[in-house]
Amino acid sequence: MKAIQLTAPNKLELVEKPIPKPKAGEVLIKMAFSPINPSDLAFLSGSYGVNKGYPVVPGFEGSGVVVENGGGMYGRMLTDKNVACVVSPKYDGTWAEYMVTEAKSCVKLGKNVPLDQGAMFFVNPLTAISFIQMAKKESYDLIVMSAAASALGKMTLHLANEAGIPFIGLVRKEDQLEELVKNSVLAAIDVSKDSYREKLKSTCSKFRKVLYLDCVAAGETPYKILSCIPGGSKMLIYGQLELNQKPVIIPADMIFHHYSIEGFWLQKKICGFGFLEIFSMTGKVNKLLAGGFENKIASKLALDEFDKGLSEYVNNMSGGKVLFAM
């Protein structure tokens, strides 16, 4: 089979490998699609929270058909079915023609969910659902989100609208404002403009407690944004897209405005979910992807076009997901 292999930080090659065999509790998936996500870029550079050594096939999530199972009731139920899947922590990833993973890391796709949309089933949808659950559970009355033109931003906005939670979307390019406004945000604000802080402050002042979702994390902008929202609010850092600067936290804000900063990583969060919670969340994602919400896809490329795919994605992340099509 063909696979993309990482041999050192940011060193990729296309290789021929034997098709892996599933053991008990595992399944073999003939991969259909797999996206490039920011977490993949971090994994390629060696800066992600998981390090599997080299050589390794990257790719955290995707879709395909289960063509073999190594035994076990769930694996047998999934055989010959279209599934969404995530990589096993023990094995190679999704950027390959075939992948073995635990049967419990797969979900049968609803009959109206196409395989391309199904390839983006786990990472962003489950994160967006977790954000909304947190907003409800901790009684936030407003969500402020950076990089709001991202796939995760759009999905979080969709779910916030559904839950009736007001949402302010922050972007860094003017041309990204229009789509946010069309999707009914309370305010869409371009943080590259000098005047952004006054607008953010006055819009936030009508609210009591804000959940500020941030994936930029470094430089001074994320912390200047925090200082515009009401005291007692929480900044939830779930990514670090700004790689060239260090974070510039304002200690006085933390002390006198009683802000809190917390981290979020789906991989850890998901370990705390029970079977019923996972069942209900994946049911919701199947419904969302079957209609009502569609991830924007910029292009579908063959595995051997990995250089083109990566540069296309990095140069226009808000333009939609680049998928490897096997």
Ligand X SMILES: NC(=O)c1ccc[n+]([C@@H]2O[C@H](COP(=O)([O-])OP(=O)(O)OC[C@H]3O[C@@H](n4cnc5c(N)ncnc54)[C@H](OP(=O)(O)O)[C@@H]3O)[C@@H](O)[C@H]2O)c1
Q: Least distance to ligand X from the beta carbon of 144, Å?
A: 14
Helix orientation angle between 123-137 and 151-163, rounded to the nearest 10 degrees: 40
- Comparing CB distances to ligand X, the nearer of 76 and 197 is 197
Q: Least distance to ligand X from the beta carbon of 72, Å?
A: 28
Q: Which residues bind ligand X (CB under 6 A)?
A: 37-39, 123-124, 127, 147, 149-152, 172-173, 215-216, 238-239, 241-242, 264-266, 317-318
- Euclidean distance between CA atoms 300 and 309, whole angstroms: 8
3-state DSSP assignment of residue 177: helix
- Comparing CB distances to ligand X, the nearer of 78 and 168 is 168
Q: Least distance to ligand X from the beta carbon of 225, Å?
A: 11
Burial (CB < 10 A; 0-12, 13-18, 19+), residue 117, is buried
Stated as kind and residue range, the H or E segment containing 10 is none
Residues paired with residue 26 on neighbouring β-strands, in sequence order: 102
3-state DSSP assignment of residue 101: strand
- Comparing CB distances to ligand X, the nearer of 99 and 129 is 129
- Euclidean distance between CA atoms 62 and 30, whole angstroms: 10
Placement of tokens 């994602």 in the chain? 285
3-state DSSP assignment of residue 67: strand
Evaluate whether 38 touches 239 at the Cβ level (below 8 Å): yes
Q: Least distance to ligand X from the beta carbon of 236, Å?
A: 9
- Comparing CB distances to ligand X, the nearer of 22 and 38 is 38
- Comparing CB distances to ligand X, the nearer of 124 and 203 is 124
Q: Least distance to ligand X from the beta carbon of 161, Å?
A: 17
- Comparing CB distances to ligand X, the nearer of 20 and 62 is 62
- Comparing CB distances to ligand X, the nearer of 141 and 190 is 190
Nearest-CB residue to ligand X? 239
CA nearest 173: which of 157, 155, 153, 143?
153
Q: Least distance to ligand X from the beta carbon of 266, Å?
A: 3
Q: Least distance to ligand X from the beta carbon of 65, Å?
A: 25
- Comparing CB distances to ligand X, the nearer of 83 and 120 is 120
Cis before 55 (ω within 30): yes
Task: Measure the CA angle with vertex 205, ends 203 and 209; round to 5°.
Answer: 110
Q: Least distance to ligand X from the beta carbon of 276, Å?
A: 21
> What's the DSSP call for residue 176?
G
- Euclidean distance between CA atoms 158 and 152, whole angstroms: 10
> What's the DSSP call for residue 72?
-
